[in-house]
Amino acid sequence: MEFNLFTFIFLLAILTSVITLLWLNFRQDRAIKATFDAVPENFKDSISLEDHQKAGRYTQAKLLVSHFEVIFSTIVLLIWTIGGGINWLDIFWRNNITESSLVLGTAFIISIMLIASLIDLPFSIYRNFILEQKFGFNRMTILTFLSDLVKELLLTLIVSIPLIFAILYLMDVMGNYWWLYVWLTLSIFTMTMMWIYPTFIAPIFNKFEPLKNNSLRDRIDNLLQRTGFKNDGIFVMDGSKRSSHGNAYFTGLGKNKRIVFFDTLLKGMEDREVEAILAHELGHFHHKHIRQRMISTFIFSLISLALLGYLINQSWFFSGLGIAEGSSHTALILFSLILPVFSFFITPFSNLISRKHEFQADAFAARHTDANDLISSLVKLYRENSSSLSPDKYYSAFHDTHPSATLRIERLK
């Protein structure tokens, strides 16, 4: 391991991000304790003290897990990089695959992905079968968990192997501007996956049935006509198979768009409240938020790949992160590992834009439905999902893509 200036910059960035994350967690915990014995004023008539305190305990339990995950993931990252883990794995594959650099690189990257999934497995088991179970949210059986695990593994291998092979090929044959061709490939791949997800991928994990509630369907059809939105169907997903948390979402691209409601959401809402939730989601399309996020993502990925195009030719980039012999596949893995460390500091800005979009979508819903219906639906969602009503403002800036419950409801009123 050869320490250089970049090594110290990397370690400083890790130290700063870890201290910030732990500090934010402690602030959030303090905010929960400060409001634990009193329901916020706007919710006194709709949320009981018992439900409010359950949400506080749930948030604190998740924070405790977060403390451990932050420290553990940092240790794993250091082992992978300056600890020599990636370098050791690279040497292992170089000694066992000599006939093709593309096969070598693909095997190396896939093995990293599988090891990372294996490392995360205990946390996934804890979150589902201990944390979520303790607060009454988990409905997933061991059989469902294992089935999802196998499906995810097979799907990842089927999709990732040819994609990784193609990326490494482009990096080898396209000269100094390989990153532009890789960016085009990834952009096309992303849009293709968004288009096929509703009809080919999502049904692998869940059952989707057409909405059978005729009165609600009439309401939704009327709302869609008023707002000029076209879709490929309204479906109910068996979310209760895994969790009691309720949700709704849009999926798909172009004409292949679906409106999906969790069955857990429909059981707890009045028809007019579901309509208001849907109007909020339509607001995102009306204001072209989905398109804006896609463009932002594509721009960020282009800048990131261009930066990698520079770093891949710098020996200090590899040596400073524990790699003895630089290559396309080690560069990809190193960059994917360190990018979240440095991009962490711009998270508040992206979240600020996202929260602005949520306010705009709320305003759209208030224009096309009764604002009080959206308020009552939000209150139910916060109560049923045990969401914190008064998060710490700095914690929220780094972690929340949605405004706090208090701010959203004050704005709607």
Predicted confidence at residue 1, as pLDDT, reads 61
Domain residue ranges of the chain, discontinuous segments joined by +:
5-204+292-349
As a whole number, the mean pLDDT across the chain is 92
Of the pLDDT bands very low, low, confident and very high (cuts 50, 70, 90), residue 214 is: confident
CB 216 within 8 A of CB 275: yes
Contacts of 98 (CB under 8 A, 6+ apart): 104
Residue 143 has pLDDT above 80, yes or no: yes
Question: How many other CB atoms sit within 10 Å of the CB of residue 27?
Answer: 16
Share of the chain above pLDDT 90, in %: 70
Of the pLDDT bands very low, low, confident and very high (cuts 50, 70, 90), residue 157 is: very high
Share of the chain above pLDDT 70, in %: 98
Relative to beta strand 256-262, strand 234-237 is: parallel
Phi, psi of 312 (to 5 degrees): -65, -20
Q: Residue 249 pairs with which residues in a beta bridge?
A: 260
Nearest alpha-carbon partner for 359 in 293, 411, 287: 411
Is the pLDDT higher at 302 or at 252? 302
Residue 31 has pLDDT above 90, yes or no: yes
Up-side HSE of residue 253: CA atoms within 13 Å toward CB?
A: 12
Predicted confidence at residue 81, as pLDDT, reads 95
Rounded to whole angstroms, the Cα distance separating 362 from 409 reads 9
Question: How many other CB atoms sit within 10 Å of the CB of residue 374?
Answer: 24
Rounded to whole angstroms, the Cα distance separating 331 from 317 reads 9
Least confident of 47-56, 105-114, 258-267: 258-267
Predicted confidence at residue 113, as pLDDT, reads 95
Mean pLDDT of 335-345: 94
Q: What amino acid is encoded at 291 in this protein?
A: R
Dihedral sign for Cα atoms in the order 26, 31, 34, 38: negative
Q: What does the block give as tokens for 334?
A: 């190193």
Mean pLDDT of 345-350: 93
CB 367 within 8 A of CB 227: no
Predicted confidence at residue 234, as pLDDT, reads 83
Of the pLDDT bands very low, low, confident and very high (cuts 50, 70, 90), residue 247 is: confident
Q: What does the block give as tokens for 266?
A: 């429909």
pTM for the structure as a whole: 0.89
Mean pLDDT of 359-387: 92
Which residues are designated catalytic?
A: 281, 362
Rounded to the nearest angstrom, the gap between the alpha carbon of residue 142 and the centroid of all alpha carbons in its chain is 24
Mean pLDDT of 148-166: 95
- DSSP 8-state class, residue 248: E
Of the pLDDT bands very low, low, confident and very high (cuts 50, 70, 90), residue 198 is: confident
Rounded to whole angstroms, the Cα distance separating 349 from 142 reads 39
Q: What is the dihedral of CA 135, 138, 139, 142, to 10 degrees?
A: -130
Helix (H) or strand (E) holding 346: none
Angle at the Cα of 377 (from 371 to 382), degrees rounded to 5? Answer: 125
Residue 256 has pLDDT above 70, yes or no: no
Helix 371-384 vs helix 347-368: crossing angle, to nearest 10: 130
Rounded to whole angstroms, the Cα distance separating 242 from 138 reads 6
Question: How many other CB atoms sit within 10 Å of the CB of residue 32?
Answer: 22
Residue 221 has pLDDT above 90, yes or no: no
Helix (H) or strand (E) holding 262: strand 256-262
Of the pLDDT bands very low, low, confident and very high (cuts 50, 70, 90), residue 86 is: very high
Mean pLDDT of 199-212: 89
Q: What does the block give as tokens for 366?
A: 């208030």
Predicted confidence at residue 254, as pLDDT, reads 65
Nearest alpha-carbon partner for 24 in 394, 404, 402: 394
